[in-house]
């Protein structure tokens, strides 16, 4: 069994375990169906390629300019704040487990006040905040408190947007959101039978109005008919998300006869094809608003990596780097005391900051950031390359020392570092490859450390 087949079997095993009760009823594509669908996808991607930009390593597509919130999401520079678990809609596709008692939380941390959340934003350095739920307007006072707190502290430096089903988007509520400082509002019109009434109302109040919906295959014609109306209203963008499956919505999706796709996040095949067909339709009509397809694999890869980078940056030493994939990269040299002191002096002459390198006398290693690679005398040293993942402590981490990071007045994060790869002494060939790909940015496939450095490219195979 080759590496691809092994990886597929591991994914299938994971999916079976996650959806233990539902899996036998879930329809996955036969090889013939998968091949035909893959060809259809390739044809659509080819057709839209002239007028559509491929972003985030080929997992996101837009025929225009992304809304500000989406741009921040693509960079991993945003925090998603869930102000409530309550909702006043019963969408069949909702993947969440509703919890009416849920307190405001973001990235797994509960925040009892806007002040606490602001301190967290400072600690991590986010440039954007998306406010979600449930339905945020069911907790209007709390929602307004958080928006006011963020904008009072950061002003235009932090872009704030809100997700709503629109059912409570009255003139009064919209005016209150605007007065609080909200920058962007997004409507899930699929929750209200594709009514555009509240969207039209919001365009009179907000510059940045976005319609963001899941790509429901059977609703393709309704969405298509809505596009010119959204354009006429001045809506900033139509965001289409690929339907994805969770234990909470699996039964509903099964009953609709969808084709499921194996993956770290189980998605719906017909949903992706519908979204690409809508992109083709919009690309053929240059006067329409931008249409943006956000695939399920984008969320799985890029949002996961963003979370890893956030945690890694909180514990990283100043002489360590955080990779695009979200791992801590540690480069170090070992040798005689005189060689290490000589190399340290070289770093001192070229380093922008003395913290970019560190001589640890206890271990006898000289640690340095990748930016100093060009100043290493490789005739004296074979660099050690190490990657670690940073995460919350798990049950089997009792031997790992946790780092406690304060992120709010009453809140803190416990994080541990786990070794995932180490190359004790890089050979000359490995040094050349590392320099070409990591230092010079000449990304190639098949590099031994590829998965530790970069996020995987392209849409996944159908199976």
- pLDDT tens per residue, range 342-355: 999 999 999 888 89
pLDDT of 418 reads 96
pLDDT of 165 reads 98
Residue 77's alpha-carbon distances to 70, 84, 130, 315, 326, in angstroms, are 10, 22, 11, 18, 13
CA distance 419 to 386: 8
- pLDDT tens per residue, range 74-126: 999 999 999 999 999 999 999 998 889 999 999 989 999 999 999 999 989 99
Burial (CB count <10 Å: 0-12, 13-18, 19+), residue 430: middle
CA distance 98 to 86: 6
- pLDDT tens per residue, range 322-337: 999 999 999 999 999 9
pLDDT of 283 reads 86
Name the token pair of 196: 């555009």
Burial (CB count <10 Å: 0-12, 13-18, 19+), residue 40: middle
Sequence ranges of the domains in the chain: 3-307, 311-453
Average pLDDT of the chain is: 95
pLDDT of 66 reads 97
Share of the chain above pLDDT 90, in %: 89
CA distance 453 to 81: 28
pLDDT of 80 reads 97
CA distance 352 to 99: 49
Q: What is the mean pLDDT of residues 135-162?
A: 98
Work out the pLDDT band at 413, boundaries 50, 70, 90.
confident
CA distance 383 to 220: 55
- pLDDT tens per residue, range 288-315: 999 999 999 999 999 999 999 999 999 9
pLDDT of 324 reads 96
Looking at domain 3-307, which of 3.30.565.10, 3.40.720.10, 3.20.20.70, 2.60.40.10 is its CATH number? 3.20.20.70
Q: What is the pTM of this model?
A: 0.93
pLDDT of 286 reads 82
pLDDT of 287 reads 87
Work out the pLDDT band at 397, boundaries 50, 70, 90.
low
Q: At what angle do helices 304-315 and 114-124 cross, to 10 degrees?
A: 80
Asked whether the predicted pLDDT for residue 400 surpasses 90, the reply is no
Asked whether the predicted pLDDT for residue 411 surpasses 80, the reply is no
**String of DSSP letters for 426-446:** --HHHHHHHIIIIIS----TT
Work out the pLDDT band at 407, boundaries 50, 70, 90.
confident
pLDDT of 27 reads 98
pLDDT of 70 reads 98
- pLDDT tens per residue, range 236-284: 999 999 999 999 999 999 999 999 999 999 999 999 999 999 999 998 8
Share of the chain above pLDDT 70, in %: 99
What share of residues in the chain are helix, strand, coil (percent, to 5)?
40, 20, 35
CA distance 421 to 419: 6
Q: What is the mean pLDDT of residues 180-205?
A: 98
Asked whether the predicted pLDDT for residue 367 surpasses 80, the reply is yes
Q: Quick check: helix, strand or coil at residue 304?
A: helix
């Amino acid at each position: 069994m080759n590496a691809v087949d092994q990886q597929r079997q591991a994914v299938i095993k994971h999916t079976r375990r996650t959806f233990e009760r539902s899996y036998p009823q879930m329809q996955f594509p036969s090889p013939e169906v998968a091949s035909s669908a893959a060809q259809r996808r390739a044809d659509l991607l080819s057709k839209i390629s002239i007028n559509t930009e491929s972003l985030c390593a080929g997992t996101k597509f837009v025929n225009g300019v992304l809304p500000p919130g989406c741009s921040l999401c693509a960079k991993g520079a945003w925090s998603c704040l869930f102000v409530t678990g309550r909702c006043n809609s019963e969408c069949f596709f909702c993947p969440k487990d509703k919890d009416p008692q849920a307190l405001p939380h973001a990235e797994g941390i509960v925040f009892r006040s806007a002040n606490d959340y602001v301190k967290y934003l400072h600690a991590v350095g986010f440039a954007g905040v998306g406010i979600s739920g449930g339905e945020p307007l069911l907790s209007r006072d709390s929602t307004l408190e958080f928006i006011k707190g963020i904008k009072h502290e950061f002003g235009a430096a932090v872009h704030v947007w809100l997700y709503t089903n629109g059912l409570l988007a009255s003139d009064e509520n919209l005016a209150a959101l605007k007065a609080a400082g909200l920058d962007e509002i997004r409507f899930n019109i699929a929750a209200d039978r594709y009514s555009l009434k509240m969207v039209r109302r919001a365009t009179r109040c907000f510059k940045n109005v976005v319609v963001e919906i899941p790509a429901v295959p059977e609703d393709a014609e309704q969405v298509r008919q809505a596009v010119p109306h959204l354009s006429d209203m001045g809506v900033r963008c139509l965001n289409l998300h690929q339907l994805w499956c969770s234990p909470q919505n699996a039964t509903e999706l099964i009953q609709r006869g969808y084709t499921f796709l194996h993956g770290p996040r189980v998605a719906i095949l017909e949903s992706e094809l519908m979204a690409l067909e809508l992109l083709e339709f919009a690309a053929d009509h240059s006067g329409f608003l931008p249409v943006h397809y956000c695939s399920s694999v984008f969320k799985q890869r890029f949002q996961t990596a963003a979370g890893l980078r956030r945690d890694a940056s909180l514990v990283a030493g100043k002489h360590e780097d955080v990779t695009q994939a979200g791992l801590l990269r540690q480069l170090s040299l070992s040798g005689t005391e005189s060689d290490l002191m000589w190399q340290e002096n070289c770093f001192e002459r070229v380093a922008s900051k003395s913290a970019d390198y560190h001589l640890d006398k206890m271990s006898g290693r000289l640690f340095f950031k990748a930016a100093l690679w060009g100043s290493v005398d490789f005739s004296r040293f074979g660099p050690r390359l190490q990657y670690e993942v940073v995460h919350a402590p798990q049950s089997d981490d009792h031997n790992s020392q946790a780092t406690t990071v304060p992120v709010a007045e009453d809140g803190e994060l416990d994080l541990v570092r786990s070794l995932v790869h180490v190359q004790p002494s890089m050979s000359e060939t490995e040094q050349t490859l590392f320099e070409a790909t990591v230092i010079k940015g000449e990304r190639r496939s098949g590099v031994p450390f590829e998965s530790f450095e970069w996020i995987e490219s392209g849409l996944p195979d159908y199976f």
